[in-house]
């Protein structure tokens, strides 16, 4: 649609997550939540299990992927949906509007995730591996106050450059991290 702002994958996924959860940004209440879809996505043990949920196809369409790209992207979108279903609340902005990235949250002193587990996370390559390790990371972080937008964008662009940024964030050197080269945006549709 012309005249509407373009949105990144992370923004689109965050909006989808908020609608699925029924989360009101002002008071955190859960109105209109699709509890059945959330429960199904939480129980999905594989990306194929998650694809059976119509909400995954909805997210796929919102992200702007075409039918011809289904073999490349549907499994990864299913991973995003299944991981986001485990996040109970989004992180709030702090000083200057900064929203703490997920890798920053996993690191720190002492880190929430051990360096060995973090290396395994960085090594994850398949959709199944990403589903398993990101769910564990979300559980480790307590499922609340997690940057939904960052998790979604990272899963959709799990490139070497993104992994380097995650390493910088985990070890507290995010300011020096390389910026992601992929800048994909889709037009918002209502």
The CATH number for 69's domain is 1.10.520.40
d(C-alpha 43, C-alpha 86), whole Å: 10
2 in a domain, yes or no? Answer: no
Instruction: Give a yes or no: residue 190 inside a domain.
Output: no
pTM for this structure?
A: 0.84
Domains held by the chain: number: 1
pLDDT tens across the length of the chain (190 residues):
333 344 699 999 999 999 999 865 454 555 557 899 999 999 999 999 999 999 999 999 999 999 999 999 999 999 999 999 999 999 987 766 778 899 999 998 899 999 999 999 999 999 999 999 999 999 999 999 999 999 999 999 999 999 999 999 999 875 554 565 544 555 555 4
In sequence order, what are the residues at sequence separation of 6 or more whose Cβ sits closer than 8 angstroms to the Cβ of residue 166? 103, 121, 122, 154
- For residue 65, the enclosing domain spans 7-177
Q: Is 60 exposed, middle or buried (0-12, 13-18, 19+ CB in 10 A)?
A: buried
CB 76 within 8 A of CB 127: yes
Residue 143: inside a domain: yes
Residue 185 lies in a domain: no
Question: Is residue 51 assigned to a domain?
Answer: yes
Three-state DSSP state, 8: strand
188 domain-assigned: no
Asked, for residue 1, whether it belongs to a domain, the answer is: no
Question: Is residue 186 in a domain?
Answer: no
């Amino acid at each position: 649609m012309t005249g509407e702002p373009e949105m990144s994958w992370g923004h689109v996924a965050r909006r989808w997550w908020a609608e699925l959860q029924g989360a009101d940004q002002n008071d955190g209440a859960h109105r209109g939540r699709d509890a059945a879809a959330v429960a199904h996505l939480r129980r999905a043990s594989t990306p194929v299990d998650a694809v059976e949920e119509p909400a995954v196809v909805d997210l796929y369409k919102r992200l702007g992927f075409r039918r011809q790209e289904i073999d490349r992207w549907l499994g990864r979108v299913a991973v995003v949906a299944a991981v986001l279903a485990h996040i109970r609340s989004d992180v709030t902005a702090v000083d200057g509007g900064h929203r703490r990235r997920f890798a920053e949250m996993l690191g720190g002193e002492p880190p929430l995730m051990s360096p060995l587990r973090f290396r395994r996370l960085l090594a994850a390559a398949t959709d199944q591996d990403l589903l398993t390790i990101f769910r564990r990371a979300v559980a480790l972080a307590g499922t609340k106050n997690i940057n939904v937008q960052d998790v979604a964008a990272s899963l959709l662009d799990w490139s070497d450059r993104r992994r380097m940024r995650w390493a910088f964030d985990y070890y507290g050197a995010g300011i020096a991290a390389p910026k992601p080269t992929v800048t994909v945006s889709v037009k918002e549709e209502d």
